[in-house]
Structure 1
Amino acid sequence: MASEELRDQRLRARVKLLGNLLGEIIRKEHGDEILNAIEKLRKGFIQLRQEDDPALREELIHFIESLDPDSLILIIRAFNIYFGLVNLAEEEHQFHERQTQVKSDGPLWFGSVLSTLNEFKKEGITREELELLLNRLNYIPVFTAHPTESKRRVTMENQRRIFETIGELNEAELYQNTYLQEEIIHKLKYQIQTLWKTDEIRRHKPTVEDEIRNGIYYFRLSLFKAIPAVYRYMERAVARNYGEKIFTIPNFMTFGSWIGGDRDGNPYVTHETTEHALYMHARAALYEYQRRIFQLAGQLTHSRYLCNIKQDVLNRVTIVDADLISMVFKKRADRFRDEPYRRFLYLIHGRLQCNLNYVEGKLNDQPIQKSRFAYQNEEELLDDLRIIYDSLCEHGDEDLANADLRDLIRLVETFGFYLMRLDIRQESTVHTDAVADLLKNVNVDYLSLDETERQKLLAEHIASATIIDTQHLELEPMTREVLEVFHVMRRMRDEISPKAFNNYVISMTHQASHVLEVLFLAHQAGLAGYHGKTPYCFVNVSPLFETIEDLEHIVPVTEALFQNETYMALLKASGNQQEIMLGYSDSAKDGGNLASAWSLYQAQKEIIALADRYNVDCRLFHGRGGTIGRGGGPTHLAIMSQPAGTVRGEIKFTEQGEVLSYKYSNEETAAYELSLGVTGLMKASLGLIRPVPEDDPKHLEMMKKLAKDGERHYRELTDHTPGFFEVFYEITPVNEIGLLNIGSRPSHRKKTVLGKSSIRAIPWVFGWAQARLTFPAWYGTGYALQKKHEAGLNAELKDMYERWPFFRAIISNIQMALAKTDLKIGKEYSKLAKDQQTAQKIYNMIAQEHTRTVDRVLDVSGNPYLMADVPTIALSLQRRNPYLDPLNHIQVVLLRRYHNESLPEEEREKWLTPLLRSINAIAAGMRNTG
């Protein structure tokens, strides 16, 4: 048997074991009737997958219709938990496979740190070039709280325990220890039983504070351990390929967050929320540092009489304020006098406690004066830790210094006292209204000014010493709230860290004045302006270009800023880096995936070229969603497929929803995913040290035409098909998603407007995915490729696929979305619409385009079937389909009943709970929400 087949057989055996254990628990808790119902649906729909049988299908649907709400809830929960167990089995299996590769000392997986450095060495990249490249790296994932994470935190904690136990079982099987295997299987059973008895649905909508806690949770769960691991991977790979200690590996990871800072469309995010988020971030970082320092104090027990400890360390433990000694050691003032490292670490621990006391007081509304012993910033803490590190190295304990102490230093360098650098986001019209409200008090009718006049006026105010005294003015509540945000930014830079904030993102940026308005408001709070003739700026502004039309205006808007003398002076004062955010989700919703990808590609090249002309460092911030239809996809390939020369050591991108739990629920997977992202960034940034080949003009011209044809066809469906949105709301659970309690933000920008302009990209993709019609990710692609095929240009398309990473990534991502579409199930959803003539017309348009896109994509890629180049993922999706089928059919029945306005309200409401659970379960099965 081939090794690949044998490995899959092991995975299938593990999945079968977990499924059987779940079945035993269901029988024990609820009897044979429920288990038999589950099995009837499971086996029946597996049989239908193998061979269609209309009579059997009708029998199964009648059976679903006969079930009461309580039985349906149990059946849905069974499938949902099964999917969770399958996901865990696959994740642990992949980790086990990677560990096997490492132990064999053979070639590692594509994108591993070691294989990447091996490639670099073979390509002739020198030590000096590698050092230059690493010194420019900055990999910046930004956690967001968009309503796409349907999994509760307690569920993730239970699943983490099961993940670890599956690993234990693998080890027991390796050593053929039958007794131990039985013990571990018993342990697995009661862990799964706990999972079964834990409600996976939130009973209440999460608050913004809940979302902040969830974001922080991933650091405790995995990232505090994964981050040092990634740095060790890099150190070992560099040493193995380029020799020991050739240079110090610099820090190349920074984490950002929107949680508690993103107020665009979320009325629950206020300036108090933002302040609270920063204190919560600080607390999480400080607790972790304290914990590790306490552990180190138990390890660094070196005697001053047996080691030549550096004088710097001895000074730190002898020349100490008596009050600090008393606070830390109480009545034992001479404690650890002969063990300087331990004594020093206890003093560090005590100083951090002062920081924690201050933060806890703020969080509990019991503020206290910050102790004079508290660290003023993370640099002071780093200075203390580095003194210990240098001393250990000097007396021959370098290996010890490079273990837990070096890991702690890495964490402090990465997270400081802020954990994640918080971005603030607000919509442009909010700033415009606030500026107009302020200026009317100095007799300026701002809204009547044209764009040129606005830019001139704003620049003059920013460059002046004039601050509008708002204390006694009658301002709109939103104006005061906007100003308070800037005051919070100023205060928290002092209280937490100058690095506490990253950028101020302006969504729906349409003109240069939108950026200058933010600087005007920052000027009001003392964050930007001039000290005499010297400019200063403590806020970095990132315009966000979201729609296809916005992306087309990116150059004129940005160039107007670069031509503004005041703006450029402030930009240089803040570091001369202009961050530009690109919106993937809204542009894809707007014009389709093909047009969105091409518009983004062009925009990146144009904006980088523009920045080069003005000698500005430009960093691109990619607003990627979790799904393909929102710009998602594998991070390594996504980074490598960026336009040549546009990635220059730094990349910033959003991490959303199910992407967070998929990547960061386990430390092993987190380290793997982070290292893949970093190596992708290294490969994409080779232009820093080597000439970058230009894009083939023929490829660019072909892509331009494909995007135009694809967009036209996509808009024909979504913009120009009468009744399209009515059908969308009738056949998908998009309205019910808002009842699922998975996010604090509303699903629509304007509640009264139900359409493409109002609905957010997340529920747009989520709704269609539930109905297994994932067309937002691929609609228009088949049409565009077919036109080129008919023109005899197949060879050119195949050449693009082979030689252009950008086009290859598009085709690869589309294959996954196509594989997740199921036209038979989509047909059942289409029958829910009131206007069947319109619904069937829309369904047929989607079905025809799906068939055409599959044919064209397979032809271009040369794949015999969808995702043949990633067979493990293809197999994973195939493995889920028979279990998704019953859930989708259950959901169709529930939607029909819940949407039936002729039924009494009480009758309809009893089907809502199973309906919401079905949404959760289908999302888990597809590993996608929004």
Structure 2
Amino acid sequence: MKEFSDGEPLRRDIQLFTALLGEVLREHSRKRVLVVVERLRDGFMALRDADDPELRAKLMKRIDGLDPQTLSEVVRAFNIYFGLVNTAEEIHGHLRRMDLISTGGPLWLGSFDQTVRELKADGVSPEKFQSLLEQLVYLPVFTAHPTEAKRRTILETFRRIFLVAQDLHRRRLNDEELEEKLQAILTQIQILWKTDEVRVHKPQVTDEVRQGLHFFRESLFDAVPEVYRNLERAVRRIYGPESRLRIPSFVRFGSWIGGDRDGNPSVKPETTELAVLMHHELVLEAYIERVAALRQMLSHTDTLCRPSPAFLDSLDADEDYWVDTMGESLRRYTNEPYRRKLAIVRHRLDANLARARARMAGDPADLPDGYGDARDFLADLYLIRDSLISHGDASAAAGELQDLIWLAETFGFHLVHLDVRQESTRHTAAVAELFARQAGAPYYRAFTEEQKCVVLGEAIAHPHPFVIDKATLTPETRETLEVFEVMARMRAEIGADVFGAYVISMTHSASHVMEVMLLARLAGLAGCHRGGWFCDIHIAPLFETIEDLERIDEVMAALFDDATYQSLLKASGNQQEVMLGYSDSCKDGGILASGWKLYEAQKKVIALADDHGVACRLFHGRGGTVGRGGGPTYEAILAQPVDTVHGQIKLTEQGEVLSYRYANPETARYELAMGISGLIKASRCLIEEPAEERNDYLGIMDELARLGEEAYRDLVCDTEGFLDYFYEVTPVDAIARLNIGSRPSHRKGSDRSLDSIRAIPWVFGWAQARHTIPAWYGVGLALERWRNNDVERLAKLQRMYQEWPFFRALLSNTQMSLFKAEMQIAREYVRLARDQERALAIYERIQAEHQRTLTQVLNVAGLHSLMEDTPDLQLSLVRRNFYLDPLNYIQLAVIERYRDEPVEEEREQWLDPLLRSINAIAAGMRNTG
């Protein structure tokens, strides 16, 4: 099997981009900037080769001598370099894939070609493969966590560089054309230099919604149909056209942007409503553009072909709409039936768009009716497709029309399924207040858990559970109720698919789910009427702490056994979504305990759902970093427990991951295909008996997780002054001031406890200071103690690494995190601590565990150096380190000046280079939080 490899073309492009950036700096920056950049880069590269205290002191003296404005420009230069390197790597990743495809041989691991060949070679019949395809749902969910630093305008500029640079390799250019292309790239780099990458103001939630929409407009509307088409090609090539395998549309997208209100006071009911309308507007615009192009293309004349009877009947039925509503002449397109039909389709979509824009503007104008919902739109597209096929024009039906059909099946009129999230205590407070306002009602908070579930079930089933005067309610309860009212209203206006799940963070008990169901009942989203039970809301409890993951079966069993909940679940389709939180569980107990508790939780909840005859979809709350569940999607899906991925997977795509995976359609196609391939392979349990898990491996992981959690908690929870160390030696105080997200960094502003700080700044801060503790701490101690210098035990761990995808993915991600940690640089950050003696003792424990983990992981993986078995990624990270090192030292110097300057006006001048250094280091490490 061919694998990707780095080569001379990529190095040449990086050198070209670096040289062009140097030209821009020479002509358009302050006089000293280019010299400083080159000397810092070269100096710290030399320190990588051999430590030299005298050179280090000289470099630090140079940094200390720079004024704030020059420092900001130096940091900006490094930041642009990282963006250019990322772009070059994306271009060459795409070009290498295209070269492999052009050879006609086997493709890379995780490609559709390799995946379908594997199925065919294993004897999977076309019928079984079709059955598997019909059960697939691949659902990435875009979130707006405060880790994405790139402004939309920056993304657009890098896209232009991508396209021009790609032409340097894909087209034969004469000298004049080559010069024009190089000038075009130089121009875009110059624009980057003169565009501020740091936002002037903290983004509003609507800004974050627009940022999310960028990826659909600029990339995914092109990428998604091509993904389906590539899978179709692979199936036809390997199974043969005679197999008649059909590719259903199974990709869907979700979003939390505008719906996630947990800890974000900026997300109001009206924010959620506006987000839904913005989604609706964008997808209608995309359809209108493509329908207009199809109308130009499908110029068939009815004297030369005969449309199907069903299509002609639909045209007859549309005649009144054509004449009366559209005001068109009967003679227009009289012999061009598809153009006439598409003109009608366009007019209806225009009407839907006008209505959406009027709603956004708060104008209840009387507007003509468009489509009732996306199903009606699709029905017209299916009619055109089937009619074209009926008179021998299947090839015309299989082109842009089929792309539009795939888009409409994927995105509907809603674009994304917007999840709504709120913390459980908000619902409990609202329900307690509603009970308290009823005459003679008992005190809800005094009930036991069992009593709560009983009274909640009775209230949900009651035709009029409460008498509510909203004016008398507290603002918090009134707002909580209004969220559900918005959900009901938007479902009625746009369609049933507008919302995905209602996610309850910090779910500790079954009553937390029943409370949400009661609030939904009050908005008419669930309940019981003469026709029986109905339920138009899907509730996803989120289990995110170690303790909650351990109790997941207890909570879910109480729900599945509740008669009221059973009835509502059946009424909503009998599918339960359960969300697993990677971030807080890792912050809570460390990477080993988190990974293993999540693994066990999945097995428990799937087995429980199977016993109750309920379909269960797991929702993985993964972050961009390993410390928050990140890592390659393909490997992550294959690492899930056997027989738990039943054709469907839902996972968050957070922060910087969005721009790295979805900014360019070429990369988006690859990322989506890799995730889908992982889903197909992990779902083979649907069509064949799954392999048994090895109990000996499970037992070893039990012990490793226990040892790892002990080591992590001993450091984080039981070490005096550890949280002081975190707040003092990382720039987390400045992260809170960085205008990259609307969500606060702490649940409670003045509370600096481990419970209060969110997992995102927790991981972000450790990464900036090059510790990356959440992603590896405790792994070395656990492996060392379990091995106990026993050669046979080492051999056992090595077999686990080779044979068990879960364990291999865990240690592979650990390697990447160890590689990104730099203990010598981390040591420099210790000087920021107030209590030097205590901070040094903490650092020495961290450094010792880093070395221990490095040794143990390499022994188990059978490697001589970190990431030896992933040379492309290894080289990519090495390439960045030469520029990250000076950035970290710049950040250190600026933090000291910012914190030590007693005069407010003087202190603020250092904030700009500090914030820029955070952005740049995040870009260089390619993950933040």
TM-score, normalized by length of structure 1? 0.98
Give distance in 2, aligned partners of 1:102 and 1:468: 64
Q: Deviations over 1:803-859 (max 9, x none)?
A: 111000000011100000001110111111010011111111111111000110000
| 2:234 equivalent among 234, 237, 242 | 237
Q: Deviations over 1:385-436 (max 9, x none)?
A: 0000001111111111010000000000000000000111110010000001
Equivalent residue, structure 2, for 1:535: 533
Give distance in 1, aligned partners of 2:220 and 2:14: 27
Contact 2:5 2:871 in 1 (8 A): no
Equivalent residue, structure 1, for 2:736: 738
User: Is residue 407 of structure 2 the alignment partner of residue 408 of structure 1?
Assistant: no
Deviation, 1:137, is 0.4
Equivalent residue, structure 2, for 1:678: 676
| 1:757 equivalent among 755, 764, 769 | 755
Q: Deviations over 1:435-474 (max 9, x none)?
A: 0110112223101111111011001111121232323662
Equivalent residue, structure 2, for 1:431: 427
Bigger mean CA deviation after superposition, 695-704 or 469-478: 469-478
Contact 1:510 1:550 in 2 (8 A): yes
Matched to 2:494, the amino acid is: I
1:610-629 equivalences in 2 (<5 Å): 610-629=608-627
Q: Deviations over 1:66-124 (max 9, x none)?
A: 00011101100000000100000011011000000011111111100011101111111
Equivalent residue, structure 2, for 1:395: 391
SS at structure 1 position matched to 2:900 = coil
Contact 1:423 1:501 in 2 (8 A): yes
Equivalent residue, structure 2, for 1:197: 194
Give distance in 1, aligned partners of 2:4 and 2:586: 38
Change beyond 3 A, Cα 1:777–1:4: closer
| 2:346 equivalent among 346, 349, 362 | 349
Give distance in 1, aligned partners of 2:620 and 2:143: 13
User: Is residue 101 of structure 2 the alignment partner of residue 105 of structure 1?
Assistant: no
Equivalent residue, structure 2, for 1:804: 804
Matched to 2:899, the amino acid is: H
Equivalent residue, structure 2, for 1:44: 43
User: Is residue 599 of structure 2 the alignment partner of residue 601 of structure 1?
Assistant: yes
| 1:422 equivalent among 413, 418, 421 | 418
Contact 2:6 2:872 in 1 (8 A): no
Equivalent residue, structure 2, for 1:269: 267
Give distance in 2, aligned partners of 1:371 and 1:569: 40
Contact 1:620 1:651 in 2 (8 A): yes
Give distance in 2, aligned partners of 1:706 and 1:149: 34
Contact 1:326 1:333 in 2 (8 A): no
Change beyond 3 A, Cα 1:66–1:371: same
Contact 1:76 1:887 in 2 (8 A): yes
Give distance in 2, aligned partners of 1:763 and 1:547: 17
Equivalent residue, structure 2, for 1:139: 138
Deviation, 1:5, is 11
SS at structure 2 position matched to 1:831 = helix
Q: Deviations over 1:769-810 (max 9, x none)?
A: 000111110000000001122251111111110111100000
Give distance in 1, aligned partners of 2:385 and 2:232: 17
Give distance in 2, aligned partners of 1:185 and 1:585: 43
1:230-379 equivalences in 2 (<5 Å): 230-244=227-241, 246-322=244-320, 324-325=322-323, 327-328=325-326, 330=327, 332-372=329-369, 374-379=370-375
Equivalent residue, structure 2, for 1:179: 176
How big is the alpha-carbon RMSD for the aligned residues of Structure 1 and Structure 2? 1.4
TM-score, normalized by length of structure 2? 0.98
Give distance in 2, aligned partners of 1:717 and 1:589: 12
Equivalent residue, structure 1, for 2:872: 872
Equivalent residue, structure 2, for 1:93: 92
SS at structure 1 position matched to 2:437 = helix
How many residue pairs get matched? 923
User: Is residue 792 of structure 2 the alignment partner of residue 795 of structure 1?
Assistant: no
Bigger mean CA deviation after superposition, 484-493 or 379-388: 484-493
1:8-23 equivalences in 2 (<5 Å): 8-23=7-22
SS at structure 1 position matched to 2:422 = strand
| 2:745 equivalent among 741, 744, 747 | 747
Matched to 2:472, the amino acid is: E
SS at structure 2 position matched to 1:621 = strand
Deviation, 1:619, is 0.8
SS at structure 2 position matched to 1:396 = coil
User: Is residue 156 of structure 2 the alignment partner of residue 154 of structure 1?
Assistant: no
Matched to 1:923, the amino acid is: A
Equivalent residue, structure 1, for 2:118: 119
Deviation, 1:148, is 1.2
Equivalent residue, structure 2, for 1:569: 567
Give distance in 2, aligned partners of 1:332 and 1:530: 50
1:365-764 equivalences in 2 (<5 Å): 365-372=362-369, 374-442=370-438, 443-471=441-469, 474-532=472-530, 534-764=532-762
Give distance in 2, aligned partners of 1:89 and 1:851: 33
Structure 2 residue runs without a partner (length 5+): none
Deviation, 1:630, is 0.4
Give distance in 2, aligned partners of 1:5 and 1:600: 32
Deviation, 1:6, is 9.1
Change beyond 3 A, Cα 1:472–1:697: closer
Give distance in 1, aligned partners of 2:139 and 2:41: 43
Change beyond 3 A, Cα 1:579–1:4: closer
Deviation, 1:904, is 1.5
Matched to 2:483, the amino acid is: V
Deviation, 1:740, is 0.9
Structure 1 residue runs without a partner (length 5+): none
Equivalent residue, structure 2, for 1:817: 817
Give distance in 1, aligned partners of 2:882 and 2:342: 57
Change beyond 3 A, Cα 1:922–1:305: same
Deviation, 1:16, is 0.6
Contact 1:147 1:743 in 2 (8 A): yes
Contact 1:782 1:857 in 2 (8 A): yes
Q: Deviations over 1:110-166 (max 9, x none)?
A: 100011101111111111110111011000101111111111000000000001111
Deviation, 1:38, is 1.1
Deviation, 1:612, is 1.0
Q: Deviations over 1:675-698 (max 9, x none)?
A: 000000000001011111111111
Change beyond 3 A, Cα 1:391–1:5: closer
Contact 2:219 2:668 in 1 (8 A): yes
Contact 1:788 1:794 in 2 (8 A): no
Give distance in 1, aligned partners of 2:586 and 2:531: 45
User: Is residue 915 of structure 2 the alignment partner of residue 919 of structure 1?
Assistant: no
1:202-221 equivalences in 2 (<5 Å): 202-221=199-218
Matched to 1:826, the amino acid is: A
Contact 1:626 1:659 in 2 (8 A): yes
Deviation, 1:625, is 0.7
Matched to 1:133, the amino acid is: L
Equivalent residue, structure 1, for 2:838: 838
Contact 1:382 1:409 in 2 (8 A): yes
Contact 2:780 2:856 in 1 (8 A): yes
SS at structure 1 position matched to 2:409 = helix
Q: Deviations over 1:689-746 (max 9, x none)?
A: 1111111111011000000000000011110111111111111111111111100010
Give distance in 2, aligned partners of 1:509 and 1:5: 43
Give distance in 2, aligned partners of 1:660 and 1:787: 39
Deviation, 1:900, is 1.0
Change beyond 3 A, Cα 1:929–1:7: closer
Q: Deviations over 1:154-191 (max 9, x none)?
A: 0000000001111011124xx36333222211111111
Report percent identity of matched pairs: 52
